[in-house]
Structure 1
Amino acid sequence: MRFGILGPLDVRGPDDSPLDPGGPRPRALLTVLLLEAGRAVSAERLIDGLYGEDPPANAANALQSQVSRLRKRLGLEIETGPAGYRLVVAPDAVDVHRFQRLAREGRQALDTGDHARAAALLHEGLALWRSPAPDDLPRLDELRLGAEQDRIEADLALGGDADLVAEVRELIARNPLGERLYGLLMRALHAAGRPAEALHVFEEARRVLADELGTDPSAELAALHLELLRGQEPVRQRGVPAQLTRFVGRTDELARIDALLADARLVTLTGPGGTGKTRLAIEAGRAREDVCYVELAPLADGAGIPYAILTALGVRQGLRGPQGEEATERLVAALESRDLLLVLDNCEHLIEGAAQVAGVLLGSCPGLRILATSREALGITGEVRCPVPPLAAGPAAQLFGDRAAAVRPDFEAHGHAQVAAIERVCEALDGLPLAIELAAARLRTLTVDELAERLGDRFRVLSRGDRTKAPRHRTLRAVVEWSWELLDEEERDLACRMTVFVGSGLSGGATLDAVEAVCGIPYPEDLLASLTEKSFLEASEGRYRMLETIRVFCAEQLTDDVSGDVSARLRDAHATYFLRLAAEAEPRLRGHEQLPWLARLSSERGNLDAALRHFLRAAPSDGLRLMADLSWFWRLHGLAGERVALARELMDAVGPKAPPGLEEEYALCALNSVMGEGDEARLARADRLLGTIDRQLRLPFTVVLWTLAVGPERSRDERVRAQVGNDPWGRALLAVGLGFQEQFAGRPAASETLFTQALAGFRETGDRWGMANSLDQLGMYADWRGECGRALELIDEALGYARELAAPEETADLLCRRGAVLLHSGAYEEAATDFARAGELARAAGTPEKVAGAMWGMGDAARLSGNTALAREHYETALETSARSWYSVGQTVHIFLGLGRVALAEGRADEADDWFAQAWTLSTSAETQGLELARVAEALASRTDEPEHAATLLGAASALRGQLIVDDPDVTPLELRLRRMLAPQVYKKAFELGGSLRHDAVRGP
């Protein structure tokens, strides 16, 4: 016999048939005996369990009577002894004892590092639970929670799953003080490629523990937080999306796709909607080590394809970088050195754009392979078309049974007749997976035989319809239409209204709040649950999404069944809701709530773009407001260039003059429309308009975008002070702008003071972007003073914020800064590690100029540690990389000097002189800072045999460095260097010269 008490009492006979123990008291008695299966239970405890605080006068006799009835009714062996009553049964026959054994063994396996066995044991144990433990047995719920945490930890160690995030969040909602759960959530989010959210969870845990318990997070949780801060830099999306259902069949198709991809670099899965192309592509990509999935269905035109791929890759545009850099070029740079499978899903509505992007990438990136899904082939050279067939009879029936069990847990195909009925259903549906899933959802109310009969009648009627359509298309449409007709009026109405939301992409669908506000249906939870159960919606992590095939069908019903006025009101309501959301988010993006609101807007990108396009046509002034509120999000998110075309269209729709009261919004739109050369008129229009505003700006980040576009000197404009006003974030921002101005003017002390003020302001508001930028500069100044330890503290804190913001370019810059500090302190090996990590990030981000910067840093580390051969290799790689991109003169000069110093160390003096001469020519023929000229002057001084000339050069270097602070690991303090290099009689003269020379006094040797 088997017994279940982890839920309603369940007793099963040897043949697995259910047995009834009787009324409430026999059930209570059996439950208490089962809790101590195989052990004696005292009469007092049993009486207390049966009667509570009001036992009968003859309680002992009543208990004996109940035990006797239980023996006879179920045939149980219950022994009586001096210690009480003992139910003779093996503990493993009782689910609670089996669960405890599996949980204990699972924990032991976890402790020994056998994660696969731990996961299997814990999954098996937790599957025994059918409901929460009774209120009088809280210990069991505690054991269950511990097992759930152990199982999640094992799953994470095995690679994790996106579903773990939602599961852990649910556990935290029930156990808000569970510190281990916060750690598991941090790890799950980090594993899912959502590092900013992972780090925000630590802050959430700290706040909850302080408010509820008055304590700080444990050392273990703090150590995990530090580990994630220092860990590998995250990407936006890793691999392919997690799926909500089990993958069934298609073994042969997966093998065929693998074989095709081994020989061809572009494979396109073709077939009508509903054949399972998307799911097949996802499963084919799941086994790949480096794969990127891109959903194209939400895109309105092909111009957005490169940006969609960049976003999926986790490549973002640095805030300081140019907005107008060509997205396709950036994409090529990010992929040209990677062996990656790119999955482009749902290409059919953008077939020309998809073909163009695929052609460029395949021609430029030799390690790239593309797996596309489309209703038609892309039609480019080298493409291999792979039609996706319907499911064979066996897998089709298996899929039906799998999905049927999801809606009816007790479903199981019994007997030849029922198996035959399932086969008839799948045959009628042409083996189309989507059609089969929709049909299986009807088993809540129909038997398989009824379903088969109704489908047969349905298709006999439909066969008289449009025979010009492809048979599978007719079949799919028929089953969608049939499922539609089985919805009640409220469900149909909501399904129609849900089509106003962008569809099935990662940023598609809608939250419950959005559905209620936009669709005008109060408390829609039950309707949404019903549509989800009937496969019209997918629900995941608080969002409801429609499969694209169903969305298209429901949109047709919206056109047919809902009046034009209602349809227009829906689009208006959708745009208005997201306008309010953007306005609510805007100030939070600059404060302590920055990370969750970045994530919230990221999940709504598709809907926000759709709202902006609607305003573009219907209400351009509201479009200006929405674009203004989103401008800072786009910059922080990293791909502002994606919205340049929209900004230009919006400016054309508004006209040449700003609407009254929207001058700032109009100027921001103009700034967003600036791509680069050729946009001087738009930039000048924005500059003039902002220059006329003498009030506090509604959006203080306007000053940032303004100065990025026209130059940091704008921060000196007195009008800007009035525009910033008393806003604390704006004042901190103004201090940053002025700090850079003082730095460029050669006044480091004043600059450092301003960056210190800025950091204090950004700490007050909680803005990570501002803190990272301020700490970066303060770390540089500490390094220049020789305070290496302090510099590393500041830069490490900045790195933490950059990683929270998922900003790989800024992270690469900071790692290079950190590497430079380590060089100055003599930690060459550690410095090389930081430069190498920076190079990897920059390479993945498609920024060759930053790759070059990291490479010359690695060259410096190798040269200073004595490995000149490796140094030369790094310098040459940096020079080659810099030749393919924009690159600063100062960095190129540094590479030339590095190559010269390597040549000198290896005894090739003529080659060294040649590199130094090239560095001098470049540094004096371009706009360079004094630091670069000082470096060249010092290198040339080391090569001259004329003391007077050396004194002049070194004196000039001293003057130039006097405008800055020494930051070069090759340079010892000037006085010591002069004493070593020059005869005593010229030392004094050189030092005197150094006090009088200025930048324009430096001349060629």
Structure 2
Amino acid sequence: MLVAMLGPFRVHDGRGEPVELGGNRVRTLLARLALDVNRDVPARTLIDDLWGEAPPGGATNALHTLVSRSRRALSPVADLRLCSEGLGYALRADPDEIDLHRFERLAARGRDALREDRPVEAVEDLRAALELWRGDPLVDFRGATFAEVATTRLERLGRSALTDRIEAQLRLGGHADLLDELARLTSVHPLDEHLAELRIRALRAAGQRAEAVACYERLRRQLVEHLGTEPGDRLRELHLALLRDGSADGTSSSESSDFAQHGPLVSGPNGGAAPTGAAPPRPMSGFVGRERELSQLEHALREARLVTLFGPGGSGKTRLSVESASRITAQRVLFVELAPVRDGHDLSSAVLTGLGIRQAPRLDHGQPGGDSLPRLVETLASEPTLLVLDNCEHLVAAAAQLAERLLSRTPELRILATSREPLALPGEKLLPVGPLELPDDVEVAASSAAVRLFARRAAAARRDFELTEDNTAHVVEICRELDGMPLAIELAAARVRSMSPRRIAERLDDRFRLLTRGNRSAMSRHRTLRAVVEWSWELLTGPERVLARRMSVFAGSARVESVAEVCSGAGLVVGDVEELLADLVDKSLVEAVDEGTVMRYRMLETVRVFCAERLAAADETAPLGRSHAEHFLAFAETAAPLVHSREQLAWLARLDAEHDNTMRALRWALANSDAEVGIRLAAALNWYWSMNARHTELTERMRDVAALSGPAPAESRAVVELVSRLYEDSSGWSERLGASLEKLRETDAMSRYVYLGLLEPMVWLLTERLDEMADSLRRAAEHHEPWPNAAAHYARAMLAERRGEMSDGEQHADRAVAAFEEIGDRWGMAQAIASTADFHSLRGDHEGAIGKLTESVRVLRELRSPAELVPQLARIGMHRVRMGDLSGARSELDEAFRLVGKTPSSHRITVTYGRMELARAEGDIGAARRLVHHAEADLVALGSPPHPMMRDLLLSFRIRLLLDEGDVWGARELFGGVLGGEEVVPGRPMSAVLTEQLARLLLHEAEPEEAARMLGVAASLQGVLDRGDPDVREMCTRLRERLGDEEFEQLRASGAELSVVDCHAELRRVLGR
């Protein structure tokens, strides 16, 4: 054993020799990491656990130094490695080389053997487990919070292992050897009913009936004296059996007289016992939220005689039942807590006890407690009653049987059950109890039930706590991270006594250690977050546990087919997965989400984290991570071509549903440096990301994937490199992009990724390399798939617009629309239709442009993709501004603004630009300037702008505003260094917009000839003069008035005839004066 923690802390080398560790801090760090062996522990958690509320200055550096010292101390132990992991550290070792982990494994295996009636194996494993104990666990670290929590758990497990071992020995007939040990244990723990039961059974088996009866009486007196309670059902039944033993042996029944006098103490109607202790509890804290559930429950209790509130642990089922019961006045309400009941074989007797009714023993009955059901029926039938049976999940079969019998015999009885699993009876009305309502936005957080619950409980824990502008976002984060589950939120709120909400939110990645200080009056399984989940875990069968831990590898939800493929194998048969999944849903470990045509399955995040720990403990994290990544790589590569087909809507919906899983697979590939998986996955998802304007994936994730070294398909790597460079924004961008395009062409990637039929020629167009673009268009037009053929028409329309070939461009756009419609690609149809709007716009036909864009929006709405709707709505708004319909423009732009959200994106900047145009048209220059600031802030927040065009567009608008105000010098200053620079080519259309504003500047400077020529230069750069722009129309009118029609047209034509290179030379000439 390399690490010993069940007693004084020791580390041994491979020969069993003790290792000198040095100071206590090193020992504490190693003990803390050994508790979570092979799991990453965040640095901030280690700092809290090592130094508590008084961390040293520079705590991170102090921890780093301590880690270095610990590594030196462990150098003689080859099989113990202290590793840096992300933002924390981990101790890597075989768990069996750490005594407490070996103990837990052996104890669990022994317990399973006992449950499966294999007592020989159980004794062997449990003895081996208990022999590992050398003293009190973690004795050297008393006072440390992490040690206190672990010690409590280990002591409970140790006691359980001890009683399990004794139980197994009793089954093997070893009662005589156990008498002395049990006598000693019951003297140390005089109130432990389980130990007393084991001793009484051993005494009875050894023929010492009188001592067994005396043992029972001593326990009963102790319980009455110290706890004010009687022994539980099992002990009372065992006592009855002892008394029967005596009667059979000729023992006088008077020996039982002392027990017999403790019969019913209270008589009810018709001689029955009246409930004395069954009123619903009265919580000390107020009830928050659940108005809809309370209404549903009230209605259900009127309609059905059996209603079950079911849901995961900590969801508030008990609290909801108590609140509902407190509002009932028309009938008697009785409340029975079943959590303490360990055995359901005579549940009716336990319910009677819970109701406060004691029964006299009936020595003439053949079975112990045989009269309990009639007695319970008699009690409940005396008047209309609602019986609340709380926490049925561990006794679900017995609870169902009892409920059925009671309801069949008592017509005026209704039962409200709470359980993590339905009772599954005919006529049962099921009401799921899930998370509390979470806020959609920080601005409305205070109205959500989850945040209100946190705020109330936090205020109870710290009187001065209140929601503020500074802490609300962190409270929302806490509630979301904890899935809106009431118990978890209450445990988190209790921590505000010593932590800020921000600190609590930061520590939720270690939630099971953070949330350990619950209400001391609550049941033990509700005092810590871990205990809540462990209670459900303990109720699972072996195969259910295997599936549950393996399901933790999924992000969000998954289809049953995915769960079966990823999780099957190594002891889990693929054909069993669907039934096991249904069992996990019934037991509230997994949530079933109905998505219309299919069901998807998800775990609450807290459950997922717990199961991920179990996955790591089973040493399955690595293989399941690979299985998950490879499964979703195959899914993405299947979906990629189908998003260009008639099945587009269905596959886009599937990609939306699996987005979290595909991103988890991508993160796995990055974390494991798996270039093949990462590069193929990114290349397959690229078009989907583009269609949905997923900027982070297209920029940051693409760059990360492009940096992966290792074998990967050449065509996939070339796609990833191209896209990663497409979103760069630095000097030499055009040349690097061209080099990536050359590499892409060499691999013939278009044959695998049909979206390159559009992407490749459009990027060539962006870099002004028209010969290469022609080659791309040829290959796209000759492609064996129809989608690149349609895309070639769309790209030719763009090229024609650039060249000013309006008629040719419109023809290609119309062909693209027809081709995409034939394929069934709504996205392609919408884009091609929108491109025809550009030709109407450039002619000044705003009505025609709006008509085309409206048709495009209609098609896009079928895609249910707000990201694609946004730019088209914004364009409609801008056209309405240009035609003077400011009210209509505001309506379109408001809808676009609602859809685009608050996260910076290129589409958000487009919408803001439309709002800038509207503010300017309304004469509100101040509002327009503020909107420019917002757009520029979003551009900076993007980190890597989608294209320099966006920057030029905002700059051109700033110049417009300055010229509107007559600030000629300010406008000329902004032009400095923009036009005429080396990087002007990639932004050619935007350069045209800037050139139009330069013409306005020259007109303000009384140089009409230069202004007219600049309008020609703008037409050359853009392909045609934008006659839809009111500024351009106004300039043309003024210049014609100043110069006359003939001279104006000659000057404009002289600029329009220039090549791109000559245009830029002309711009440098004008700006350099």
- Scaled by the length of structure 2, the TM-score of the pair is 0.47
Bigger Rg over Cα: 2
RCO higher in structure (CA 8 A, sep ≥6): 1
- Scaled by the length of structure 1, the TM-score of the pair is 0.49
